[in-house]
Amino acid sequence: MKRPRYVPRPVTIQAAQCFQSAEEAWFWFIRAQRARREGLRHAGSGLMVRPCESDDVYLAAVHLMRAGVIGKAHLRVLLTYGGKDRPPDPRVRDEAWAARLWDEALDRMTTVLRRKGIVE
């Protein structure tokens, strides 16, 4: 059986800084994923120390979807507009429905992320 590889994590002395909102945490996750795809070793480790791994934000959304709190459409909107690096604009007719789903998903994620100490 193969032995799992050990990859040391950088040790930091700074206190972790929570996100101001679930939206900020979501965009951080998306940027970390993009950096990871481009080959950055420790994606999501920027100038600030965060209280979680970037995958924890995504896992919170997936957990809500599996529990039936949000639907697949909510997750699809989060991924689509997260990839565009902007939230959907409710004033644009084609994005009004997506904006409603975006707000609903992030509202429900805020509760979970706040309980985990990720969002203030």
Per-domain residue ranges for the chain?
22-115
Residues 6-15: pLDDT tens digits? Answer: 766 665 556 7
Residue with the larger pLDDT of the pair 13 and 78? 78
In degrees and rounded to multiples of 5, residue 101 shows phi and psi of: -65, -40
Residue 3 has pLDDT above 80, yes or no: no
68 vs 51 pLDDT, higher one: 68
| 81-115 tens-digit pLDDT | 999 999 999 999 999 999 999 999 999 999 999 99
Q: Name the residue among 43, 83, 78 with its Cα closest to residue 61.
A: 78
Please tell me whether residue 41 adopts helix, strand or coil conformation.
Answer: coil
pLDDT score recorded for residue 45: 52
User: pTM for the complete prediction?
Assistant: 0.81
Q: Where do we find the tokens 């791994």?
A: 53
Residue type, 110: T
Helix axis angle for 72-83 and 54-66, nearest 10°, is: 150
Give bridge partners of residue 55 from the DSSP assignment.
none
Q: What is the DSSP string of 92-104?
A: SGGGHHHHHHHHH
